[in-house]
Copies of this chain bind each other. A is one copy, B any other.
Amino acid sequence: MKSNRHITLPAGFVAGAVRCGIKRREVEDVAIIAADDGPVPAAMMTTTNQVVGAPVRWNRRLLPRGHGLIRAIAVNAGCANTCNGPRGDRDAATMASLTAKGVGCALGQVLICSTGVIGQPMPMEKLRAGIAGAAAALSTGGDDAVARAIMTTDTRPKTAIVQGRLGGQRITVAGVAKGSGMIAPSMATMLVFVTTDAAIAASALHRILRTAADTTFNAITVDGDTSTSDTLIVLASGAAANRTITGGTDAQKLGGLLEEVCGALAEAIVRDGEGATKLVRVTVGGARSDAEARLAARSIAESPLFKCAVHGGDPNWGRILAAAGRSQARVDQDRASCKLGGVTVMRRGASCRFDLAAAQKYMAGSEISVELDLHLGSGRYTVLTCDLSREYIAINADYHT
Contact = CB atoms under 8 A, between A and B. Distances in A.
Interface of A: 48-52, 80, 82-85, 87-88, 117-120, 181-182, 184, 186, 223-228, 302-305, 308-309, 311-312, 314-319, 321-326, 330-334, 346, 348-351, 356, 388-390, 392-401
A50 B351 contact: no
A206 to B, nearest CB: 23
Contact of A118 (B321, B331, B356, B390): B321
A351 B118 CA distance: 9
Contact of A83 (B225, B309, B350): B350
Contacts of A333: 50-52, 83
B51 A325 contact: yes
A82 to B, nearest CB: 7
Contact of A312 (B316, B356, B396): B396
A60 to B, nearest CB: 14
A396 B304 contact: yes
A314 B225 contact: no
Contacts of A332: 50
Given A308-B396, A326-B48, A401 B314 contact: yes
A27 B398 CA distance: 38
Given A308-B397, A401-B314, A85 B49 contact: no
B182 A322 contact: yes
A225 B305 contact: yes
5 contacts: A50-B326, A50-B332, A51-B333, A119-B350, A393-B393
A323 B225 contact: yes
Contact of A350 (B80, B88, B305, B311): B88
Nearest to A387: B397
Nearest to A311: B397
Q: Which of A321, A393, A399 has the most CB of B within 10 A?
A: A393
B350 A85 contact: yes
A50 B356 CA distance: 27
A88 B317 CA distance: 17
Nearest to A51: B325
A399 B314 CA distance: 8
Nearest to A186: B326
Contacts of A223: 304-305
Contacts of A88: 350
A66 to B, nearest CB: 20
Contacts of A224: 302-304
Nearest to A328: B50
Contacts of A118: 316, 318-319, 321-322
Nearest to A229: B322
A325 B50 contact: yes
A349 B308 CA distance: 34
Given A304-B304, A318-B82, A401-B316, A49 B325 contact: yes
Q: Which of A88, A118, A304, A398 has the most CB of B within 10 A?
A: A304
A393 B227 contact: no
Contact of A392 (B52, B308, B398, B400): B308
A303 B182 CA distance: 10
A383 B326 CA distance: 19
Contacts of A330: 50
Given A83-B321, A118-B322, A181-B305, 4 more contacts: A82-B318, A117-B318, A119-B351, A120-B351
A85 B348 contact: yes
Contact of A331 (B51, B350, B399): B51
Contacts of A393: 308, 311, 388-390, 392-393
A390 B225 CA distance: 19
